[in-house]
């Protein structure tokens, strides 16, 4: 989220807190919910807080205050299955390959909602980061 401005707009303030969305060209931008809905954009999800804040800082044009807010996964996100599948993959696998694999798996399983697919991919990447951290910690 990007927090910008002061005071409630209903009472003459300028506050406009926007979420980070993935744009049509694959980039990221802070956009109002109404504009994002009109353009049928999906919120940006990230595997780690640091990655979210870095992407938010890069996308900020209003130079507001950036905060990475945790998102509780939707009930349809099969977190246990994702963890198991990622656990059986090599920790050196590229993020792009992993993301593409899980997006394809979600679509083959019947997921048509782009937001659900984005959450599944972000959860897979978060599991991948956790596995990479374990390997680094134990110097495997």
Report pLDDT for 109. 94
pLDDT in tens, 41-97: 999 999 999 999 999 999 998 888 898 999 988 999 999 999 999 999 999 999 999
Burial class (CB in 10 A: 0-12, 13-18, 19+), 111: middle
Q: What's the pLDDT at 8?
A: 75
Burial class of 126 by CB neighbour count within 10 A (0 to 12, 13 to 18, 19+): buried
Please say whether the beta carbons of 103 and 111 come within 8 A.
no
From CA 67, how far away is CA 17, in angstroms rounded?
11
Q: Which is nearest to 121 in space by CA: 54, 50, 22, 34?
A: 22
Q: Are 117 and 99 in contact (CB under 8 A)?
A: no
Confidence of residue 106 (pLDDT cuts 50, 70, 90): very high
- The whole-number pLDDT of residue 121 equals 97
More confident residue, 78 or 8: 78
Supply the pLDDT for residue 45: 96
Gap between the terminal Cα atoms of the chain: 37
Whole-number pLDDT of residue 30? 95
Instruction: Tell me: pLDDT of 2 over 90.
Output: no
Average pLDDT, the chain: 92
| Residue 82: HSE in the Cβ half-sphere, 13 Å Cα cutoff | 26
pLDDT of 34 above 90: yes
Q: Is the pLDDT of residue 139 over 90?
A: no
What's the rounded mean pLDDT across residues 130-137? 93
């Amino acid at each position: 989220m990007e927090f910008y401005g002061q005071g409630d707009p209903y009472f003459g303030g300028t506050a406009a807190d926007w979420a980070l969305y993935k744009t049509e060209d694959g980039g990221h931008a802070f956009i109002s919910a109404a504009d994002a809905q009109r353009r049928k954009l999906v919120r940006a999800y990230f595997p780690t807080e640091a990655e979210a804040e870095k992407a938010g800082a890069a996308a900020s044009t209003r130079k507001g205050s950036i905060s990475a807010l945790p998102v509780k996964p939707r009930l349809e996100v099969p977190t246990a299955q994702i963890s198991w599948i990622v656990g059986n993959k090599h920790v050196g696998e590229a993020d792009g390959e992993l993301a593409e694999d899980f997006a394809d798996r979600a679509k083959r399983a019947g997921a048509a909602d782009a937001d659900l697919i984005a959450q599944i991919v972000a959860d897979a990447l978060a599991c991948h980061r956790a596995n990479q951290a374990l390997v680094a910690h134990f110097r495997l």
